[in-house]
Structures are given as structure tokens and as C-alpha cells.
Amino acid sequence: MKVEMDSMTNEPPFLPVLPELPTFLTLQDGKQYDVSGDVWSFTQGGGIKLSVKFNWTLLANIVVAGTSTRVMSERAVTLVKLYVLERLDTGGDSIKPLTGKRCEYAMVAFARFLAAYPMWMPAGRSFDWSDLSAEILDAWLTLENQKKQKREYAGLVRQFYLWGADPAAGRPDFSTDLASELSAIRIKRHARGELVESRDIKRGPFNREELELMFSACATGKGEAQDRAIVLTLLETAMRPKQLYLLTNQDLEVSKGVSEVDDADGTLTEVSYRLRVRKIKLRRNVIKYHVLPLSACCGKLLNDLRKPGSNADDPLLWWINSSFWDSITTRLKAFSEDADLRSPRIPIEYPEDEGPTHERLHLTPRRFRYAVATDRIAYGDSPTDVADMLGHKSKKDVGVYIETSPWIADYFQKATDYAIRPLVAMMEGRAKPSEMNLLADIAPPVAPQLRIYTDAPLFMGDSGSHSHSNNQRMNMPSAMPVRPATKPGKSEAKIKDLVARARRKFPLIYPGQDFDAQLWKVVHLRERQNVNQVVSFGFTTRDSTVSTRLSTRPEDALPPYFAAVVKSWMVISNEVTVATNADRLYAARNFWHFLATRQGGNAASFRWGDLCESDMRAFEQFLMSSESNRKQSLGPGSVLKIIQKMQRLVDFLASHGICRRIDYIPQTQAPRLAATRQLEAKRLAAEMKLPAPGVLDTLASIYHRLTTAPEGEVSDWVLIFISGVAILMLTGLRIGELVTLPYDCEVEEKRPKADPGELDSYWYGIKYWVEKRGRKTMRIKWISPTAEPIVRASIVRVKRLTAAARERARVLEADPMRVPLPPELESRSTLSGPELRAIIGQKDKKRVHDDPQGLLPQHGSCRWTHYYVKDLGPYLLSRRVTELYTIRHDDGTVQKLSESLFIIFAKQSRKTRGGTLSSSGRAGEVASVLDVFVITSHYLQGLWKRRVAEGVICKPAQFPPLADAYCL
């Protein structure tokens, strides 16, 4: 049980004395170490002489901000010491000193959080582990969201608490109930193989050109011999720095043999070299080796560099000191400087005259391991051979190298050429729709034939899941049992505690705002610049909320006792996106509308503890018969989405003891086929997701017509749009992944040569930000060589057409707090009405006069009105987006507008008159002061739906005039 505090003294009750710390500790290497003081010094095991020091005074001396009170009590620090000592001395499952050091770092980070935010500290005393709660750990995770090590540190603190809560240990400072709560907290981790997937130019694998630069530098003898030996060994073995440091003289095996007979000198001796590499990361104190071959150049260099007079057990690379990681990194940096290695992938932004044009190659040990593995896969080596070279136990650990290898582009070509090649021929104008059948001479890949059983049994889903299948709805009983509701007094007390917890966490997520406010600003939380145009969360009634316009009138606010619970849900369960929280709020608005309008119901008497199945059933029936704010009935998909969010809210309240758990099964049929429980129906449902016959052919023809039309006949925006559609057709990217492409999204990797005299060729790919993952990570989509010409041409076209908008974005980013005006405007003092409307792209002067913020006042008489140029900057700033970015990452970094591919001027996609930059996108116009924004996925989807509804895309036989069909 968790220790209860004394309400009078705020001191924990009497606790048993902790066991005394041992004076000496014996590790697996057999050595004894003194652990009696506050500073422990260990030698890293496994033959490493690296010293690892624990300085517990650093943790013990952290004080609360503005006071002299120590954050961690002596008992709390002692428990951490006991944990580290026990983990270091647990036989075969013990950790290494370096791993224990990470635990010390995590505890210091947690103590610094408590020192900076004393609201989580017990009043008047230091922190004990009996004071820990799930709320404190959750608040720490929320605040540390932008720090690199937050996941590892939080996981280590939780692991320590689970150790203390072990019932067999009998430690009263820890609670088994709290340990269960902490285990349920989701802690995001880095994606596996993230750097390999992204092909990061400074931290990811080297490409083939960079590898050839290093091989060439070593072959010509550049750099010092010792540095060259490290580089060559890493290039041929991809071993870890620790393995490199552990090499001894006897690990270099030299064998000689007779290869042929020479008339002049007799026999010719051939020398071969092998390197015996020690495996690391093995459980228990087991020593194993694997042998890797070396080239004659590398083996001879290592053999010549042996230290004279050294023994067999002496280090082979004797110039690497005990701080092997830093020592190897320093040597690699020196080699890069001596050999003047320049990466062809990192151009210098502002190179000096007659100076280098590219940055130096960043050499790190981990990059060699990534590069050698991916390069060997690209050359056709089997996964088993690569796993053996890396020292992995199985092939699954090299899966990321296989999945992200550029050679997969050739497999894409073989698998999709039968479908892509005719489309590409039409896009390039080499074929017409009538000739499509003549071009489709490539047979599709033969798939194994599956026997479809139409009378197959139903697939029963998990009854505990919220994604219920239709067969469960069919088998649902007509009358659901209703259990008694939670006691009102207990429910209200739980709600009060829940809201109090949310209030404490609220400032960490929404700094400077009020929990009780009717509107919450959420711009700082958006991953993208304008996701669904969500700027604020409005806790208002459904009838008063129209699209994104939120009412600020107090009479339109949701009742406090209802809104407080919804707010607490959104604050405490905050591991979601802004769009998901907006959906939560939309569902809550509809639920309150149901409570306020249901027949015979009294919304004021509603209590969260009284929720039952009948409420959910009545709510669903209400949704099916109600209309949205647009006076349209809600579709089945919208109803199911609202019910799903409400089920999540019920689960959240039930987990906090406010109401009982309700596992409601909706009666509404999903928009897809109702009979997807059978294999044949599943196949039909999958076919329904494919484009209708003729759609792709029509798109290919439209692409060719638009891109080959005379200049000026097709607007820039339409060309940008059709280029994006072509990329979607040939790459399979999601729309959200398309519109967030970085400007430098194109990548190339050199292909291996089958013949030394063969010309260089390259694989082509696109870097993009992956969706449907826990965090934003970059990946490369390798493009089929058949689709490569169209994708290349589309990206080049988009870059050309968005150049003016990108240049304007750089101007805005240079001074984000204002909107700079062109010199020809700043030199003037006044503007006439027509001039002003031409600049800001407004046709109707009433919109300018009726500015609700009053930032653009009108001067002069009714007939001779004018505007001051000094007022134009603040007005444009009020219309501009708040932050100039495309994507915001977890660590706080952003992809700026100027770094994005699909950016346009604010009104470039609208059909306007006058030929200003806002509609045509041409540089040199006065309208260049307008806002720049990134094309968003929901905007592109809406535009796509409009074009389909107009029949422009779905009717292959009809080709309306360009001016009517494609100018939006």
C-alpha cells in the first residue's frame, strides 16, 4: 500500500530503517570496488579500462528553486544507491557500470524537474519516493517533450520504481498500485532504424560516392597511417568502436600460400588476412568471436603498424586510448581534414571565391556500420551474410537495411511496370488512350491463387476491443443489462480530484492561459501550420459553433460542470494530435446538445456517474436523426466517429472511478460494405478503394495536355496541382506526405557497376515525412526507374513555379514579427483605394472598409479616400499565419515554409482578375507583399473532391476546354 502522510506535520510515518550499504562490491570481472562513500569509481567490464564514476553528491545537493531545501531526501538517494548496487551485483542478469550511470543521469534530470517546479514537491520537506504519483511522472513527460533523452530517462525512473514495488522485496516506500499505473503510461520511443531510413546526410549511412571517396583516399595514402588504418578497418568490417579497441595482436591472422610459379623469382607467395572480432552485448560473462576477411591493403597496413616488441595479448591498435569512442572519433575527424574529404551531398550555402563548394564529410563509427550494411545489401549480399558480418544473432536485425535499400526500386519496376509504363507513355505524349492496350505487353506478376469460400464462417472480433465488427452488432442482444451507477458522492469527489489534477498539468501544455477560459489557443501545439484550420478550442455549444468561428459570448459556453470534465480529459490524455483533440471536443458538443434537447431530459441534472448503455444508445439514435451545422444529416461515418470518441471518454472516466465501464457496440453500419466478414466481400471492398476504370488514363492525358499547353494558357496553380497528382499516382504517397515534402526531397544513390567500364547510373528517391507513426520521422521512397522521368519533371516544375513564393517566405522568416514591404512601397506615404485592393488582392472594397480589427483605417472624404502605407504592415501581419512553418517536430524544430516544396501565395489558387501575383504567381508584381502558405492536405483533398464532383476527372471521354475545366 502507498504510504499515507501525516496531515498535521506533512511527514511520512515511521518507516523501517534501510539496510546499510555495502563497503565493497565485486563485479563480474572479479574486481572489488569501494562503494562506501558518495563517489564510486568503476572500470568498465569486458576488457575495457574505461573509468565510470558515480557522484551521488550531485543528486543529493539539488535544491528547490529560490530556497535552500534539498529536492531529494537522504532516504530517497539511498534507495537509488541500493537499486544501482543490486543491479550491478545480480549474477548473470547484472547491468554494466555504464548502464548504471544512465540511471544516475535519469534521477538527476527528474530531480531538476522537481526543483524547477516546486508545485510537485511536498510542502516543507524533501521528496521521498512515497510522494511519487502517476500525475508527477506524466507532468515530467509533458514538460520534457522537447528534450532528446526524455524517453530513456522517464523509462529508467519507471523501471526503478517497479523494482522498488516488487512485493517480494517488502519496501514500504513503494506502492504496487502506483507501479501498475506507471506501467500503463505510454512513453514514446525513437523509431527503430530511424537514421537508416532517413539517409540523414550527417548521421545516416554514407552513400556509394562517399564510400568511394574514402577508399580512394586510403588507396592513395592520404592522412596519417594510424588514422587510415582505422578508416579501412571500419570500411571492411563495420565493427563497433568497442570491438575495435578490444583487438589484440593475435586477432590479426595472417596466412600464406603458393599461388603460382614465377620464372624469375621462383614461387610467388600470396598473403591473406583475417580479423578475429570479439562479440559484445552478450549476456553473462561469455566470450565469443567471429572471423571477418580483410583486404591485402588493410591487413598489411595493420600488420606493419604493430607496436615493435609487443606481445600477442597487447592491443593491435595501440594508439587508441581507453576513451575509445572519443579517441576514434577524433582520429576520423583528423583523417577527413587531412584527406580533405568533401561530401557531394552537403553543399556550402555561401561558398567563398575559389574555395570549396561542399562541406567536409562527417565521419562517425556508427555511420560506417550503417553504410557498409546497406551497401552490401545493394550489391546483392544475402541478409544472413550481412547479419554475420555485423555480429547479429538473426536476420531480423538487418531488416531495416533491406527495407530501405535503394535496390528495392528495381523490384518496384518489375512488379508495377505493367501498370505504370502505359501511363508514363501517355504523360510523355508517346501514346494515346486508344493505344493503351498495345502498350500493356508486360504481364502482371503472377500471384498465388487463393480459393474464396463464399460460405466461410464469420470472423469474430475481440469483444474487448472498441473496433467492433458488424457481425458483433448483429449478434448483440436486444436488451442490454444496466448495472447500478456509481454512488453520487463518490463520483463527485473523483471528478473534483480529476479537475484539480488537470489544473496542475494545464500550465505545462498551455502556458499563460486560463483553464476556466472559454477559448484555448492551440497554435503552439499544431504539428502543421494549419491542420484543419484549428486555431483555438472553443468549449461552446453546438448551435453557437459554426465551422472555425467560435463564440466568445458567455451564454454560449458549455456548463462548467460538463466542460471541466471534457477539459480534464483533453489535458490529462494529451498524447494525441490537435486534430484528435478537436474531434474529442466536437463529440462532446454533440453529446451536450443531445442532453439539452432530448425529450423529457433535464441537462442540468445530468451526472457523469450515471452514464449507462441506454444513454449511449439514445445518443446514437439522436445523432442518426439530427443535422450538422451545415443543415445536413450526419453520415454513418461521422456518427461512428462521434460514438468512438465518447466511448474513449467513458473509458477515461471509468479508469478514474467516476463511472462504471461501458463497452457499447454501435448499431450504425459502417460506410463500407456491411458484409466484409467474408473473404469475397473483403476482396470487393478492397477493389472499391481503387480508382474507377479510365480515371488514371484520363489523369495521364490531362497531365500531358496541361504540361504541354502554350505558356500563359494554364495558370501556375493548376500546373502545381497536376504535378502533385502525378507524384501521387506514381509514388503511392499519402496526401499529407505529399504536401509536406521538403524542398530538397530528391536523393540519388550510385548503383554498383557490373563492369568497370560501365557508365555511372543512380537510383532515384524522394525524402518524405512518414505519417501514421508515433512521431515525425523521415524516410526515402525509392522510385521505379519507369516512373522516374515524370516524378523528376513534376518536382522540377513545382520548384520553378513556387520560386517566387519561396523567396517571399525567406523575407517573412527573416523578420517574423512584421511584414516587410517592397522598397517601392516603403518610399510612399499613401495609397489609393484601387492601389490598395490590387496589393492585398481584394476585389470588394467593403471587405477592406469593414475590417473588424480596425487595422486598416480609411482617410479622406468619401470620393477621395486614401490609406497610409504605415498601416499596411500591421494589417498584413494580422492576416498572416502566426508561425511560418510546415511541420513542427517533437524536439521543437520546424520545417520552414522556405524549406518546403509545395508553397504558394495566399490567393494563388483562386480565380481572380487583374493578373496580380496572388493569382498568377509571377514575380515583379506589387502584390508580392501578400501572405505565403503551404498547401495543406485537407485543402488538396477538398479541391480534389470538387474536381471529381464537376466530372472533369471521372469522365474519360470528355475533355472540356482548358480555360473552363482547369482554371479554378
Beta-strand relationship, 24-26 and 32-34: antiparallel
The helix/strand/coil state of 553 is: coil
Cα Rg of the chain (Å, integer)? 34
* pLDDT of 554 strictly over 70: yes
Q: What is the pLDDT of residue 200?
A: 86
pLDDT bucket at 637, cuts 50 / 70 / 90: confident
Confidence at residue 289, expressed as pLDDT on a 0 to 100 scale: 87
Q: Which region among 24-38, 411-425, 630-644, 667-681 has the lowest average model confidence (pLDDT)?
A: 667-681
Cell 425529450 sits on residue: 599
Ramachandran region, residue 892 (left: φ > 0; alpha: ψ -120 to 50; beta: rest): left
- Region 277-300: what's the mean pLDDT? 83
C-alpha cell read off for 519: 477559448
With H, G, I as helix, E, B as strand and everything else as coil, classify residue 146. helix
- Check whether 45 has a pLDDT greater than 80: no
Say which residue, 680 or 485, is predicted with more confidence.
680
Axis-axis angle for helices 225-237, 296-304 (nearest 10): 140
Q: What is the pLDDT of residue 534?
A: 79
Strands 885-888 and 894-896: antiparallel
DSSP H/E element including 162? helix 150-164
**pLDDT confidence tier of residue 36, bands split at 50, 70 and 90:** confident
The mean per-residue pLDDT over the stretch 667-674 comes to 67
Residue 62: pLDDT band (50, 70, 90) is: very high
Which residues, at least 6 apart from 612, have a Cβ–Cβ distance to it below 8 Å?
Answer: 482, 483, 485, 660, 662
Stretch among 65-74, 80-89, 902-911 having the lowest mean pLDDT: 902-911
| Residue with grid cell 564514476, as numbered in its chain | 53
Most confident segment among 77-81, 170-174, 687-691, 721-725:
77-81
Q: Which three cell numbers stand for residue 830?
A: 499613401
By C-alpha distance, which of 661, 485, 663, 650 is closest to 565?
650
For 708, the grid coordinates are 504541354
What pLDDT score was predicted for residue 642? 92
Helices (H) and strands (E) in the chain, counts: 36, 21
Mean pLDDT in the chain? Answer: 78
Checking if the pLDDT of 479 tops 60, the result is no
**Element spanning 285, H or E:** none
CA distance 343 to 363: 10
> Which whole number is the average pLDDT over 370-385?
88
**Distance, first Cα to last Cα, the chain:** 67
Kindly tell me if the per-residue pLDDT of 702 is higher than 90: no
Phi/psi for 823 (5° steps) reads -55, -35
* Dihedral pair phi/psi, residue 736, rounded to 5°: -65, -30
Span 322-342, pLDDT tens digits = 788 889 999 999 999 999 999
Three-state SS string over 417-448 comes to: HHHHHHHHHHHCCCCCHHHHHHHCCCCCCCCC
According to DSSP, the β-strands at 536-538 and 252-262 are: unpaired
Give the residue among 563, 537, 557 at the shortest CA–CA distance from 548.
537
Burial 695-709 (b: 16+ CB within 10 A, else e): bbbbbbbbbbbbbee
Q: Check if the beta carbon of residue 595 is closer than 8 Å to that of residue 603.
A: yes
569 vs 88, more confident: 569
Rounded average pLDDT over 389-415:
86
DSSP 549: B
C-beta separation of 229 from 294 below 8 A: no
pLDDT of 570? 93
Phi and psi at residue 901, to the nearest 5°:
-85, -50
**How many whole angstroms from its chain centre is CA 314?**
46
Q: Among all chains, which residue has been given the C-alpha cell 562503494?
A: 35
> Using 50, 70 and 90 to split pLDDT, how confident is the model at 936?
low
Q: Which of 362-376, 757-771, 849-863 has the lowest mean pLDDT?
A: 849-863
- The answer to whether residue 111 scores a pLDDT higher than 90 is yes
Would you say 726 and 790 are in contact if contact means Cβ atoms under 8 Å apart? yes
Mean pLDDT of 371-389: 87
Q: Which residues contact 694 (CB under 8 A, 6 or more apart)?
A: 954, 956
pLDDT of residue 110: 93
Residue 440: CB atoms within 10 A of its CB come to 14
Q: What is the pTM of this model?
A: 0.77
pLDDT band at residue 92, thresholds of 50, 70 and 90?
low
Strand 252-262 to 51-55 pairing: unpaired
Amino acid symbol at 366: R
The dihedral region occupied by 380, where left means phi > 0, alpha psi between -120 and 50, and beta the remainder, is left
The answer to whether 33 touches 147, Cβ cutoff 8 Å, is no
Per-residue pLDDT, 918: 30
> Can you give the pLDDT at residue 667?
83
- Average pLDDT estimate for 84-89: 86
Mean pLDDT of 18-43: 83
Residues 6+ apart with CB under 8 A from 757: none
Q: What pLDDT is attached to residue 913?
A: 31
pLDDT of 3 above 50: no
Q: What type of residue sits at position 118?
A: P
Q: Could you read off the pLDDT of 289-312 as tens digits, one per residue?
A: 889 999 989 999 999 999 888 898
Cell representation of residue 204: 545516416
Which is nearest to 894 in space by CA: 534, 524, 510?
A: 524
CB 198 within 8 A of CB 778: yes
Q: Is pLDDT above 90 for 12?
A: no
Q: Is 746 helix (H, G, I), strand (E, B) or coil?
A: strand
- For 208-229, the pLDDT digits (tens) are 889 999 999 999 999 999 999 9
pLDDT in tens, 570-624: 999 888 888 889 999 999 999 998 888 875 556 777 888 888 888 888 898 888 8
Using left for φ > 0, alpha for ψ between -120 and 50, and beta otherwise, residue 270 falls in beta
For the cut 60, the answer to whether the pLDDT of residue 262 exceeds it is no
And the C-alpha cell for 583?
474531434
Quick one: pLDDT at residue 477? 36
The listed range with the strongest mean pLDDT (638-642, 832-836, 940-944) is 638-642
Instruction: Read off the pLDDT of each residue in 858-878 and give the average, rounded to a whole number.
Output: 77
Q: What is the mean pLDDT of residues 4-27?
A: 68
Lowest model confidence (mean pLDDT) among 177-181, 449-453, 523-527, 700-704:
449-453
